[in-house]
Amino acid sequence: AQSVTQPDIHITVSEGASLELRCNYSYGATPYLFWYVQSPGQGLQLLLKYFSGDTLVQGIKGFEAEFKRSQSSFNLRKPSVHWSDAAEYFCAVGRDTGFQKLVFGTGTRLLVSP
């Protein structure tokens, strides 16, 4: 069965510092991987996705993620965090492109300090 682990419940980063949010997945076949962001009172917004090809994917708002099959990881990074990045971040794995039921991790809440 698919599963996603986000080991960090909360992370605090100073504004302007770099960020890395960890995500590990468990899935037997080729995974379809996603990072979503959720701000209070808002729906989930897709930051980036990985289906195949280049293992370093670029997303919106200056985010990127790297797929590492050997480590079953898909960590999210940003070189310089802005106060507006404070939100909850969810990693998800999709079963396939056709149906694409998403299995989400428990999320990481990002706090940005001045």
Q: Give the x-and-dash track for 38-57 against another protein (CB under 8 A).
A: ---xxxxxx--x-x------
- Contact flag: residue 27 with another protein (CB under 8 A): no
Judged by DSSP in three states, 114 sits in coil
CA angle 23, 28, 31 (to 5 degrees): 50
List of residues 6+ apart from 54 with CB closer than 8 A: none
Q: Which CB atom, from 28 or from 40, has the smaller least distance to another protein?
A: 40
Q: Which of 10, 61, 68, 101 binds another protein (CB under 8 A)?
A: 101
Q: For tokens 């990881």, what's the residue? A: 73
Residues lying near another protein in the complex (CB under 8 A) are found at 4, 34, 36, 41-46, 49, 51, 90, 92, 97-107
